[in-house]
Structure 1
Amino acid sequence: MWRVAKHVSAGCVLGLAIVYSVAGPARAAAAAEPAKATVAMVIDYDDGVEKHFQLAWKPGLTVLDVLQAAQRHPRGIQFVYRGERDTAFLTQIDDLKNEGRGRNWLFSVNGQLGQRGFAVTEVKASDRVRWQFTRYK
């Protein structure tokens, strides 16, 4: 009986040594890789439904780029805008169009209402972009 237990113990030690020699370097390599930078975006349809996206970030990324990345996502969005750069104006996300004097699509970054056009507003890693279909207050 003692020999079996001794044999099992030696086998366990050998097995653990093999696992560690294989998994140890892999863990070290994974720990050395920096986490991929992302930006979060929420589309708030103002009816209790929201779509959430976690999208890859890179330097120079704008709110328009974030929308386009969400559009390419397998369960993405569709959107319509007119104009370019400073004059770009979003008119529709999915089936909700701006209403003029009613509700319209407004964006914020980290809780701050956009102060420039969405096509030129740059975002940083870990920023949170929110598009909300609401009345301007």
Structure 2
Amino acid sequence: MTTPAVKPAAKRAADPRWRLAMGMIPVLVGVLIYRLATSMPLTPEEAPPAGPVGAEVVVLTITQPDAPAVEKEIPWSAGQTVADATRLAADTEWRGEGEMALLESLGGVPNQGADGLNWQFEVNGKYATAGAGAIRLEPGDRVLWKLAPYE
């Protein structure tokens, strides 16, 4: 007596590894759908969107490695500089005054010198080309302070 030939599809269905692989597909699809639905940020250092926020405030964001970004809305006033807004947003230490003011410490975290991490800033997504005391802000501007190595 001969045994009937087993079809390849029937062999696969009986294999426990095949069943495990087929059972994982709905799980993976569910994880993908959950991830897309929650839209969680991938990194804590995401930069704030460039451009004005459109109100009588300026938005100041502070980022540093291994810490969540801190964002604060600061009331805008005529003639306000990046240094002025930063003083209102956090505990700061400065060297110099006016247009020559240099941020030495922000939120208790000091600059580390030429080979370390140092406080640098952007206004509306553009890297600063002058000191924090020299750049005047407009309503809706966004300031990003980041602790990073010099670029």
Normalising by structure 2, we get a TM-score of 0.60
| Residue 51 of structure 1: aligned partner | 70
Q: Deviations over 1:63-91 (max 9, x none)?
A: 01101221xxxxxx211111012321111
Identity among equivalent pairs (%): 30
RMSD over equivalenced CA pairs, Å: 1.5
TM superposition shift of 1:45: 2.0
| Residue 82 of structure 2: aligned partner | 63
Which structure's CA Rg is the greater one? Answer: 2
| Residue 145 of structure 2: aligned partner | 131
Q: Deviations over 1:82-126 (max 9, x none)?
A: 101232111111221111121100011011111111012101111
TM superposition shift of 1:36: 5.5
Answer whether contact 2:122 2:144 (CA < 8 A) is retained: yes
State yes or no: 1:42 paired with 2:61. yes
Q: How does 1:7-26 map to 2 (within 5 A)?
A: none
Normalising by structure 1, we get a TM-score of 0.66
* Structure 1 portions without partners, runs of 5+: 1-34, 71-76
State yes or no: 1:89 paired with 2:102. yes
Aligned length, in residue pairs: 97
The structure 1 segments of at least 4 consecutive aligned residues displaced by more than 3 Å after TM superposition are none
Counterpart residue type for residue 88 of structure 1 = A
Write the distance in 1 (CA, Å) between the matches of 2:87 and 2:117: 23
Q: How does 1:97-108 map to 2 (within 5 A)?
A: 97-100=110-113, 101-108=115-122
| Residue 5 of structure 2: aligned partner | none
| Residue 130 of structure 2: aligned partner | 116
User: Equivalent residue of 1:49, what SS?
Assistant: strand
* Structure 2 portions without partners, runs of 5+: 1-53
Write the distance in 2 (CA, Å) between the matches of 1:94 and 1:41: 13
Write the distance in 1 (CA, Å) between the matches of 2:144 and 2:55: 21
